Amino acid sequence: MTTTTAGVLFVLSLVVVLVAVYRPFGDYLYRVVSDTQSTRVERGIYRLAGVNPAVGQSWGVYARAVLAFSAVSILFLYAFQRLQNHLWLSLGFDPVVPHGAWNTAVSFVTNTNWQWYSGESTMGHLVQMAGLAVQNFLSAAVGIAVAVALVRGFARSRTGELGNFWVDLTRITLRILLPVAVLGAVVLMAGGVVQNLSGGTDVTTLTGGTQHLTGGPVASQEVIKELGTNGGGFYNANSAHPYENPTTWTNWIEIFLILLIPFSLPRVFGRMVGQHRQGYAIAAVMAILALASITLTNVFELAGNGTVPQAVGAALEGKEVRFDVSNSATFAAATTLTSTGAVNSFHDSYTPLGGMMTLGNMMLGEVAPGGVGSGLYGLLILAVITVFVAGLMVGRTPEYVGKKISSREIKVASLYFLVTPALVLAGTAAAFATGNNATALNAGPHGLSEVLYAFTSASNNNGSAFAGITVNTPWWNTALGLCMLLGRFLPIILVLALAGSLARQQPTPASEGTLPTHRPLFVGMVVGVTVILVALTFLPALALGPLAEGL
Q: What would the pLDDT profile of 135-166 be if each residue is shown by its tens digit?
A: 999 999 999 999 999 999 999 999 989 999 99
What is the pLDDT of the chain when averaged over all its residues?
Answer: 90
Q: Which of 191-195, 224-228, 310-314, 401-405 has the lowest mean pLDDT?
A: 310-314
Q: State the Cα–Cα distance between residues 85 and 385, nearest whole angstrom.
A: 50
Q: Provide the residue ranges of all domains of the chain, joining segments of one domain with +.
A: 7-202+213-290, 372-550
At 268 the pLDDT is: 97
Band of pLDDT at residue 314, cut at 50, 70 and 90:
low
Distance (Å, whole) CA 167 – CA 145 = 9
Q: Tell me the average pLDDT across 353-377.
A: 90
**DSSP letters for 474-486:** HHHHHHHHHHHHH
Q: How confident is the model at residue 205 (pLDDT cuts 50, 70, 90)?
A: confident
pLDDT digits (tens, 9 = 90+) for 454-481: 999 999 999 888 777 788 899 999 999 9
Q: Where is 204: in which H helix or E strand?
A: strand 201-204
Q: Of 100, 94, 134, give the one whose Cα is nearest residue 117.
A: 100
Which DSSP symbol is given to 54? T
Around 150, how many Cα atoms within 13 Å sit in the side-chain half-sphere?
31
Rounded CA-CA distance 525/444 in Å is 37
Q: How far apart are CA 234 and CA 188, in angstroms?
A: 14
Average pLDDT, stretch 295-301?
91
Q: What is the DSSP string of 258-321?
A: HHHHHHHHHHHHHHHTT-HHHHHHHHHHHHHHHHHHHHHHHHHHHHT-SHHHHHHTS--TTB-T
What CA–CA distance (Å, rounded) separates 221 from 218? 5
177-191, 404-418, 537-551: the lowest-pLDDT one: 537-551
- What's the CA gap between 470 and 348, in Å, rounded? 12
Encoded amino acid at 343, one letter: V
**Which pLDDT belongs to residue 490?**
96
CA distance 298 to 358: 11
State residue 309's pLDDT score.
Answer: 58
Structure-derived torsion over alpha carbons of residues 182, 187, 190, 194, reported in degrees to the nearest 10: -50
The predicted pLDDT at position 501 comes to 95
Lowest-pLDDT range of 96-100, 208-212, 291-295, 527-531 = 208-212
CB 212 within 8 A of CB 201: yes
**Percentage of the chain modeled with pLDDT above 70:** 97
Query: Which residues have C-beta within 8 Å of that of residue 435, sequence separation ≥ 6?
Result: none
**What is the spatial distance between Cα 269 and Cα 127, in angstroms, rounded to a whole number?**
36
- At residue 391, the pLDDT reads 84
Confidence of residue 2 (pLDDT cuts 50, 70, 90): low
Cα–Cα separations (whole angstroms), residue 148 to 164, 279, 342, 371, 413: 11, 13, 25, 14, 17
Mention every residue, 6+ apart, whose C-beta is less than 8 A from residue 220.
129, 133, 181, 185, 195
Q: Average pLDDT in the 231-254 region?
A: 93
Stretch among 23-27, 250-254, 259-263, 391-395 having the lowest mean pLDDT: 391-395
Round the CA-based radius of gyration of the chain to a whole number and report it.
Answer: 23
Average pLDDT over residues 323-352: 90
For the cut 80, the answer to whether the pLDDT of residue 438 exceeds it is: no
pLDDT score at 201: 85
Is the N-terminal amide bond of 369 cis, ω within 30° of 0? yes
Confidence of residue 118 (pLDDT cuts 50, 70, 90): confident
Residue 429 CB contacts under 8 Å (≥ 6 apart), including other chains: none
Q: How far apart are CA 54 and CA 150, in angstroms?
A: 19
Residue 102, pLDDT score: 95
Q: What is the DSSP letter of 213?
A: E
Tell me the one-letter amino acid at 394.
V
pLDDT number for residue 287: 96
Q: Is the predicted pLDDT of residue 333 greater than 90, yes or no?
A: yes
Confidence category of residue 64, pLDDT binned at 50, 70, 90: very high
Choice between 352 and 77, residue whose per-residue pLDDT is larger: 77
In the DSSP assignment, the letter for residue 127 is I
What is the mean predicted confidence (pLDDT) over 95-121?
Answer: 92
Rounded Cα distance, 59 and 167, in Å: 15
Query: Cβ(112)–Cβ(484) under 8 Å?
Result: yes
Residue 542: the pLDDT is 78
| 27-43 average pLDDT score | 94
Which helix (DSSP H) or strand (DSSP E) does residue 202 occupy?
Answer: strand 201-204
Q: What are the tens digits of pLDDT across the range 39-61? A: 999 999 999 999 999 999 999 99
Spell out the residues 6+ positions from residue 335 whose beta carbon is closer than 8 angstroms to its own. Answer: 231, 258, 341, 342, 343, 462, 464
H or E stretch at 212:
strand 210-213
Task: Please report which helix (H) or strand (E) contains residue 393, including its range.
Answer: helix 374-394
Residue 1 has pLDDT above 70, yes or no: no
